[in-house]
Amino acid sequence: MSIRHSIWPCLIILLMTGCASLDSARSRPEIPAPPDVSSGADQSAGGAPSVDSPELPQDEPARQPVVAAPIDTWDRIRSGFRLPDKDRASVERHIRRYAANTRDIERSFERGEPYLAYIYYEVDKRGFPTEIALLPFVESSFNPKARSSEQAAGLWQFIPRTGRHYGLKQDWWYDGRRDVVASTRAALDHLDQLHQEFRGDWLLALAAYNAGGKTVRKAIRKNHQAGKPVDFWSLKLPRETTSYIPRLLAISSIVAAPEDYGVQLIPLDQEPRFTLIELPGQINLEVAAELAGMEIGELQQLNPGFQRWATHPEGPHQLALPQEKIAVFEQNLATLPASERMKWVRHKIQPGDTLGHIARRYDTTVPVLRASNSLHSNTIRAGRHLLVPVAARKPVSRPAPDTALESDRIADETRHRVRKGDSLWTIARRNGVSVRNLALWNDLDPDAYLRPGQVLVIHQDDAVPRPFSYTVRKGDSLFLISRRFRVSIGELRAWNTLPKGKYLQPGQRLQLFVGGAQGT
């Protein structure tokens, strides 16, 4: 045997080892649950050496393995797209409509940024098409506080009955339909059940998610009896459902190639931003934020299911926290006496007081007052005291039902009683605040209709945004600055005339308009 022939087995082994190294380098960074999304096709496209390539010269230096850039969450979402789009014309119509309002797309994904990595993680874990991770864009524009005229609520727009069927608790303290973790689990359970019912057809399952299984089954029966096809595109369904799936496919097409439509997608964390931790019991949300060393707004953003100033007294005793905040939170919580997890005010009972009046005054409930004071009935006596759990800032007294004043000024805020003809826009304009802030302070959708007699809170200390100059630091980006000051990337660009694609430079000064509390 010649020396030339004896070298071939060694070369083959070396080249195969090189392929394995490159394949390993192309695999996505490991996170707790999603399986590897890289495919054989992706690996071969990278140009790995083949064992059939000509023999390399002996004096050529060995090549160093090329390490691919980490795959981000947007790439992971794109890699799992697999829903069919038979009627491309209807999809294209919605693509054009979305592409005409690119800022709306960017704003929706900015709103969904805290949740998208988690939603993708859960969708991918179940092996679902990853277009489903974008379904909240169609349902709610990624607004966990969204509420429809049919009383559907949350990212996934559950109506009360369906939400309860899938275990989403709904009461004065807490609405599981708005809880990102609970509602995502319920939505994927619901879709899984529909997927099985419609024999593995994802488009029919999605149509049933929107219109109800009964409506889709009825349409299938009609087509079957008429000898017509029974796929989604052939069924006669309500107009909203007919456009529902093309809208999902349209936004998926834009996410697949955002640069083609002038859309700049906000960067996504490679792992879910938050982790659920167990709590020993009820805790005031402002106390929890202090323990974690974070802003109350950020905590509420990750825990939108809690509708009041504290977690539910009966559970769920869980809180979503950023991973980097958990250690300090648990350390501080361990040293905090149980009696200080809530804030209390000592209320002296006045003649004519009832538990109902006191509960409304302090934004709580009669059962909470009874439990907090070991009362066995609703009977109370003037001159005695009650311990009342309250928001951490200051005990806020709501106007009594018979108060005739239009607004009742309390400390640094105004309480406005809605009159006939009022809207969020007219009230915001009258008080020199933005509709967005007014809606945020009152836990409302910016498009919400108001009821006469409804009471709105208007904060005075940060009502009027004021200019604030910020010096760009090394490592800063528009995304990081927008998160730090709770403004949008679009606002930063508009305020500073920043074109897309232009990078910030250390030392550059930006003009921001923020409330007094944020700008200090």
Q: What element of type H or E holds 318?
A: strand 318-322
Chain centre distance of CA 96? 26
271 catalytically annotated:
no
Judge contact between 407 and 416, C-beta under 8 A. Answer: yes
- What span, in angstroms and rounded, lies between the C-alpha atoms of 237 and 247? 15
What would you report as the CA-atom Rg of the chain, rounded to the nearest whole angstrom? Answer: 28
- What span, in angstroms and rounded, lies between the C-alpha atoms of 172 and 368? 11
Comparing C-alpha atoms, which of 332, 245, 383, 6 is closest to residue 253? 245
Token duo for residue 201: 């057809």
Those residues whose C-beta lies under 8 Å from the C-beta of residue 190, and which sit 6 or more positions away, are 162, 166, 209
CB burial string 336-362: b at 16+ within 10 A, e below:
eeeeebbbebebebeeebebeebbbbb
Backbone angles phi, psi at 463, to 5 degrees: -70, -45
Judge contact between 431 and 414, C-beta under 8 A. Answer: yes
- What span, in angstroms and rounded, lies between the C-alpha atoms of 369 and 389? 8
Comparing C-alpha atoms, which of 80, 83, 81 is closest to residue 38? 80
Judge contact between 465 and 503, C-beta under 8 A. Answer: no
Q: Which of 110, 139, 259, 286 is catalytic?
A: 139
Strand partners, 274: 322
Token duo for residue 34: 């999603």
Q: CA quadruple 403, 407, 410, 415: dihedral positive or negative?
A: positive
- From residue 293, alpha-carbon distances to 182, 274, 365 in Å are 25, 15, 29
- What span, in angstroms and rounded, lies between the C-alpha atoms of 510 and 517? 18
Catalytic residue numbers read 139
